[in-house]
Amino acid sequence: MFCQRCDKPLKADEAEKIDHHGATGAGSTITVCRIPCRPTPQQTAPYETGR
């Protein structure tokens, strides 16, 4: 089981399940850390190598 925010592995006592209801669909259940964590950084723009 992994946290959906920070991608770290979790044990059963460290995890919290949250129901995420979809506006037009069935929705889903996500697993996150009980203690608030920081999301992993994601690249939002292309990386230029300066060639």
Instruction: Give 50's pLDDT tier (boundaries 50, 70, 90).
Output: low
Q: Read off the pLDDT of residues 38-48 as tens digits, 9 standing for 90 and up.
A: 887 887 888 77
Domain ranges within the chain, ordered by starting residue: 1-36
Residue 34 contacts residue 3 (beta carbons within 8 Å)? no
For the entire predicted model, the pTM comes to 0.63
What length does the chain have? 51
State residue 25's pLDDT score.
Answer: 81
3-state secondary structure of 14: helix
pLDDT tens profile 9-40: 999 999 999 998 888 888 899 999 999 888 87
